[in-house]
Amino acid sequence: MPVKCGLCEKKAILKRPKTGDALCKDCFFWAFEEEVHKTIIDANLFSPGEVVAIGASGGKDSTVLAYTLKTLNERYDYKLDLILLSVDEGITGYRDDSLETVKRNQQQYELPLKIISYKELYGWTMDDIVKQVGLKNNCTFCGVFRRQALDRGAMLLKVDKIVTGHNADDIAETVIMNILRGDIARLKRCTAITTGADGALPRCKPFKYTYEKEIVMYAYFKKLDYFSTECIYSPNAYRGHARTYIKDLEAIRPSSIIDIIHSGECMAVKKEVKLPVQGTCSRCGYISSQEVCKACVLLEGLNKGLPKLGIGKPHKVKKLEAQGKIFTDTKNPKFVENRDADKGSMANNAAALDF
């Protein structure tokens, strides 16, 4: 007894997690694309003539995002210049494979592609870093470096905006994580569809309300070419407790995901609560709530043979600095070399990040 599509008479292929509706393939494609369009219009994400960099990893979310944005840009004449922007962390056997997928997407979607590497930005690949720090804290390096790398690449391309493939499940997960960590400042920011709008380079998430299930089903039925694997340096990173928790909740009641995002949006911080002030790093100019940003501290540790610097408590960094053991030069040499080109613009352009 095949179930029929709720909108036409064809055979349904998907039960929508958000609404419980059964839809056929064509009605699903249409509903999926139109909802993303509605999100873009309601939040006023783009203006005609903008150059938009799509953070592309070769994974499902960014692949579907690139495809959907290209489709909508044509259907609704957004007049956007879309560019694929990938970060190469320098992980042999992981990122080199996924970058091959991005290169195929570049051909398939006829979009320009820019790849920016940790090696050129920081002087270190993740493979090099793992040799220094081992497998315990390497994800800290990778995470901190990746945030800046996407902005950095986007600035080189002189784009107006970055879009990322973060989906509803990701955002619900972040809400839960920020609650568990008691991180009020991030909790306040993490449901925003656009961040860093006060700087020159905003970031936005057109899939904010799009369920992971639908993204994967869309990719499946459209036969989109994406890459899925586990990072070789953190085979179990995706087993994060928040993620498992969200998936378990979804299995019980699919609307939980959107409900958690809604709760996050409704959360307000009393005016008298002091939140950390976001300033800029004194060494590289990137946005930071500390005097020196985390990336600069981590990089200084690597370059001085103190790979644990920046992993422990911040006061250790201050102590070593007072003793004249670190930060003896005024700037990180690698950063300076790369950043001199657009000196001064970093401080103004630095974008706030959530993840």
Partner 1 sequence: MELVVSLEFSGGAELLFDKVKNHEVSLPARANGPWTIKHLLVWIKDNLLKERPELFVQGDTVRPGILVLINDADWELMGELNYELKSKDRIVFISTLHGG
Residues that bind partner 1 (CB under 8 A): 2-3, 11-15, 22, 57-63, 98, 169, 212-213, 215-217, 220-221, 226-231, 237-238, 243-244, 247-248, 250-251
Smallest separation, CB 216 to partner 1 (Å): 5
Please check if 165 is assigned to a binding site.
yes
Whether residue 228 contacts residue 60, with contact meaning beta carbons closer than 8 Å, is answered with yes
Please check if 87 is assigned to a binding site.
yes
Whether residue 17 contacts residue 254, with contact meaning beta carbons closer than 8 Å, is answered with yes
Closer CB to partner 1, residue 192 or residue 215? 215
Smallest separation, CB 272 to partner 1 (Å): 40
- Rounded Cα distance, 68 and 36, in Å: 8
Task: Please count the residues of the chain.
Answer: 355
From residue 345, give the alpha-carbon distance in Å to each of 151, 283, 290, 333: 12, 14, 19, 18
Closer CB to partner 1, residue 223 or residue 271? 223
Nearest to 150 by CA among 175, 115, 174: 115
Smallest separation, CB 273 to partner 1 (Å): 34
Please check if 151 is assigned to a binding site.
no
Please check if 36 is assigned to a binding site.
no
Nearest to 218 by CA among 8, 13, 10: 13
Smallest separation, CB 90 to partner 1 (Å): 16
Smallest separation, CB 221 to partner 1 (Å): 8
Whether residue 293 contacts residue 286, with contact meaning beta carbons closer than 8 Å, is answered with yes
- Rounded Cα distance, 291 and 300, in Å: 14
Which tokens sit at 135? 């497998």
The binding site for ATP consists of 55-57, 61, 87, 165, 170
The binding site consists of 55-57, 61, 87, 165, 170
